[in-house]
Structure 1
Amino acid sequence: MHIKQLRSFLTVADSGSVTATAEQLHMTQSGVSRQIATLEDELGFSLFDRIRGRLVLNPRGLAFRRHVRQTMDSVDHLPHAARAIADGVFNRVNVVATSSIIHGLLPPAIAHYVSKWPGLPPRVIMRSLREISDSAPEEDFDLVLAPMPIPLPRFRVVARIDFELHLAGPVGSFPVEDDPIDLGSLGGLPFISLDPFATYQEGIETMLAETGVEVTYVCETSSVVTAAQLVRAGVGCAFLDPYISGSVRGPRVKVVSVRQKLMHAYGIYAPSGGPLSHEATKFLESVLDYVHSTQGGASQGNLET
């Protein structure tokens, strides 16, 4: 099985035509047909059915294409990887984070990291908590950023970022212009609920109940980012972390702190059983440096001992 056979297979699968494949790959039609036939002989099963003059993948061909596509993507990436290795960029940090952190905290933190270490571009991947928990050991993440307090198998907490939740709402929503605002003044306002996925939603509802405030939930979403966009669209108010709320603050959205402080934390996790790599340590320090530099002092980053 050769790379040329696999490339011919993918091209025929996409075009449905030996003729088009031959033109695209600068081969003869007989050469393409021979490569497909040889590949099918090696596999022990056919890959295509001929339907109305076109070659169409059969179920085995469809399954095989998924694996070939992944393989060819890796092959096509090799020149880029080789250039990076030649330039000395082969120990970059692999970071995985949940959606709210990817869209809120991480962009400015990465900018801070890249400005200090321009030769070590990080690789950042977005995953859900379930995907992170179910990740295989060979995925080899250096750092994981996720809400606390959520235990992640195979990972230990190396730092935590404590912060105060902010209240965001369409301009004109809040009955007073105070900042910080009192929870008691929020009765009757339309709110966006993050039940049941946001780890701080239960704390919000408990504090509202203790204050005797009743709000109207007009929408429920599993995404903090979606909640922020709903605020921007004028749907209602939402409690957001300071990094997400900062991204939507503007002419249409007012962001205030709350007198009855609502605290939350993000954890930075590393694989159990080994020290942090030099690059992971640099990235961790850059994130915490950015958090400490955030104006207002609402956010704190602390290394776990």
Structure 2
Amino acid sequence: MNLRQLEAFRAVILGQTVTRAAEMLHISQPAATRLIASLEADIGFELFDRVKGRLQPTPEALTLYQEVQRSLIGVERIARTAQDIRSLKRGSLHIACAPAMGLIFMPRVIASFMAEHEGVHVSLVVHSSAQVIELMVGQRCDLGIIVLPNTYPSPRSEQLIATRMLCALPASHSLCEKPVIVPEDLRGEAFISYPHSIGSRQQIDTIFAAHGVERELRLETQLSQPMCEFVEHGLGVALVDALSAVNYRGDGIVFKPFEPAIEMDFAMLLPVHGPVSKLHTAFLEHTQAFIERHVPKAYRFTA
């Protein structure tokens, strides 16, 4: 037996004539007749009696029809699933993301993506860039988002955005009037810093050392969001990544360009082995478009 035979059998049961069955299947009447004849030959018994020009199903045919109907419904469900996958309405994404993008910005991206792709299941976990790379290499997630540069070998990736770090100032600070902040402006300022375990800390310390500027280092945190909260509460100034600045919702803080520019890039890691799926590509393109719409040009790094 094959699928086309079973479809013809069901069509004849429903249409009661071969002519109607052929119309339902968009085939010729002789083709429909041959499908029924070949099915009867395969199963070894007759399925229909001719009564006054109509095909009357035999008791055996009605028993068989119940099973055929269940089977074809399953096939149609598979076809709908395939269509959903093709149109990106079905599938799952397990995303691992560095905190700078994963705490606020990526949830906004995912919400926007899911609004356009109903039926897609998304899982988001937040880890350090090194852990994200380990998850991708171990094939324990579908996509990863990391901060560059990093000291770990990473799988294939696509750059999402090159940003520049910004100077976060309390809204009442006198430096808010300056268009650009330079290291000398922050001499003697209470400075909220990343801990030494964060790569950006070394870059920032090197720049201030090169300019001979001493800061008052009393407060550290590894995340930009609490760093911004500390700045708004008047505990000091800070250099933060641009995406955290975009997402900060407080109104007691001002973000200013900082020179010399400190680049902070974000990249999306793609599956290490095998081809990239249509769903992966769609999410990458959606993320890039979302960034283009929501991250100001002034926050981006240009060489």
TM over 0.5: yes
Correspondence 1:246 to 2:246: yes
Q: Is the 8 A contact 1:144 1:270 kept in 2?
A: yes
Q: In 2 relative to 1, CA 155–239 (structure 1 residues): closer, same or farther, beyond 3 Å?
A: same
In structure 2, C-alpha distance between the alignment counterparts of 1:173 and 1:116, rounded to whole Å: 42
Partner SS state of residue 261, structure 1 = coil
Change beyond 3 A, Cα 1:284–1:298: farther
Structure 2 stretches lacking a partner, 5+ long = 1-80
In structure 2, do the counterparts of structure 1 residues 226 and 250 end up closer, same or farther at CA, with 3 Å as the change threshold?
A: closer
The SS at the match of 2:177 is: coil
Determine the C-alpha separation between the residues in 1 that align with 2:127 and 2:112: 22
Equivalent position of 1:172 in the other structure: 172
**Residue identity in the other structure for 1:128:** S
Distance 1:230 1:223 in 2: 11
When normalised by structure 1's length, the TM-score is: 0.62
Deviations 1:107-135 (A, max 9, x none): 33223323433442422111234533443
After superposition, the CA RMSD in angstroms is 2.9
Q: Which runs of 4+ in 1 moved over 6 A?
A: none
State the TM-score, normalizing by the size of structure 2: 0.62
1:298 shift after superposition: 4.0
- Post-superposition shift, 1:258? 1.8
For residues 11-68 of structure 1, give each alpha carbon's deviation from its aligned partner in whole angstroms, at most 9, with x where no partner exists.
Answer: xxxxxxxxxxxxxxxxxxxxxxxxxxxxxxxxxxxxxxxxxxxxxxxxxxxxxxxxxx
CA distance in 1: counterparts of 2:187 and 2:249, whole angstroms: 22
How many angstroms apart in 2 are the aligned matches of 1:108 and 1:194? Answer: 25
Check the 8 A contact 1:179/1:258 in 2, yes or no.
no
Aligned-pair identity in percent equals 21
Give, in whole Å, the separation in 2 of the partners of 1:254 and 1:299. Answer: 13
Q: In the alignment, residue 116 of structure 1 is paired with which amino acid?
A: E
Identify the residue that residue 148 of structure 1 maps to in structure 2: 148
Mapped contact 1:99–1:225 kept (Cα < 8 A): no
For 1:158 and 1:86, how far apart are their aligned partners in 2? 28
Structural mapping, 1:1-305, within 5 Å: 90-135=90-135, 140-150=140-150, 155-248=155-248, 250-298=250-298
State the number of aligned residues: 217
What secondary structure sits across from 1:101 in the alignment?
A: helix
Cα contact 1:142–1:276 (8 A) shared by 2: no
Larger radius of gyration: 2
Give 1:285 deviation, angstroms: 0.6
Distance 1:228 1:143, change over 3 A: same
Residues 227-254 of structure 1: CA deviation (Å, up to 9, x unaligned)? 2232233322211112212333533212
- Provide the secondary structure at the position in 1 that maps to 2:245: helix
For 1:99 and 1:262, how far apart are their aligned partners in 2?
A: 19
CA contact (8 A) 1:184 1:213 kept: yes
Contact 1:96 1:144 in 2 (8 A): yes
Amino acid corresponding to residue 219 of structure 1 in structure 2? L
Is the 1:182–1:258 contact (alpha carbons within 8 Å) kept by the matching residues of 2? yes
Structure-2 separation of matches of 1:160 and 1:199: 19
Cα distance in 2 between the residues matched to 1:101 and 1:241: 9
Distance 1:154 1:187 in 2: 37
Using the TM superposition, give the Cα deviation of residue 151 of structure 1 relative to its aligned residue in structure 2, in angstroms.
5.3
Q: Tell me, in whole angstroms, the C-alpha distance in 1 between the residues paired with 2:111 and 2:153.
A: 29
**Structure 1: segments with no counterpart, 5+ residues:** 1-84
Q: Residues 205-240 of structure 1, C-alpha deviation per residue, up to 9 Å, x if partnerless? A: 222223332211111222333322322333222111
